[in-house]
Amino acid sequence: MLALPPVTRAIIIANVIVFLLQQVTGTTLTALLALWSVGTPYFAPWQLLTYGFLHEGFAHIFFNMFALYMFGAPLEMFWGGRRFAFYYTACILTAAATELVVLNATEVGGPVLGASGGVFGLLLAFAWYFPKQRLMLLFPPIPMPAWLFVTIYGGIELVFGVTGVQPGVAHFAHLGGMLGGALAILYWRARGRFTG
């Protein structure tokens, strides 16, 4: 079992606390902190970050926090807490920006909530730095290397986003998280600050 480094632990705890507050306050936190389209009266700039701490039900937060534990912990141990925090935040922000572009283009009002954009960024980084690590699908239970798993998953998200097969899921936020992660890694490599 993986140890839980401090930034990953703090993000998980913050998400759980906010989720518990959501259960007490009803829709109040969603109205204030979820990501709403810029064209609606509910939009506020802080939502570009705060939406990543809200969740829509137990299964939503459970799977996001499980993925954060599985992929965030090894990345934080590999990078260190400061770089990990920067990376995760960048993924949350680019996921929000990407989803806003789609919301405004389609004139849909939102709200968007969940840590999935950050989680998809972590998936990308995990496949980038640990490409041969074996991951197991739940359905069907097929082991595959991380690079293949993440490539397939990203492809599915793109297809679902373009076709609208799975409405109510922010597929472009997921892809935006991956895009932000790729840009952060490429920036580090171009600057020669982090070649690992």
Q: Residue 193 has what pLDDT?
A: 64
Would you give per-residue pLDDT tens digits along the chain (196 residues)?
A: 567 999 999 999 999 999 999 999 988 999 999 999 888 888 999 999 999 999 999 999 999 999 999 999 999 999 999 999 999 999 999 999 999 998 877 766 678 999 999 999 999 999 999 999 998 766 668 888 999 989 988 888 888 888 777 777 888 899 999 999 999 999 998 887 655 5
State residue 26 phi and psi, 5-degree precision.
70, -130
State residue 38 phi and psi, 5-degree precision.
-60, -30
Residues 84, 86: Cα–Cα separation, whole Å: 5
> pLDDT tens digit string along 19-66?
999 999 988 999 999 999 888 888 999 999 999 999 999 999 999 999
CA-to-CA dists, residue 74 to 71, 100, 119, angstroms: 6, 30, 13
Q: Residue 159 has what pLDDT?
A: 85
Domain positions in the chain are: 6-191
Domain 6-191 has CATH 3.30.70.2740: no
State residue 162 phi and psi, 5-degree precision.
-70, -40
Residues 30, 74: Cα–Cα separation, whole Å: 31
Q: Residue 163 has what pLDDT?
A: 77
Q: What is the 3-state secondary structure (H, E, C) of the chain?
A: CCCCCHHHHHHHHHHHHHHHHHHHHCCHHHHHHCECCCCCCCCCCCHHHHHHHCCCCHHHHHHHHHHHHHHHHHHHHHHCHHHHHHHHHHHHHHHHHHHHHHHHHHCCCCCECCCHHHHHHHHHHHHHHCCCCEEECCCCCCEEEHHHHHHHHHHHHHHHHHHCCCCCCCHHHHHHHHHHHHHHHHHHHHHCCCCC
Q: Residue 136 has what pLDDT?
A: 77
Q: Residue 170 has what pLDDT?
A: 85
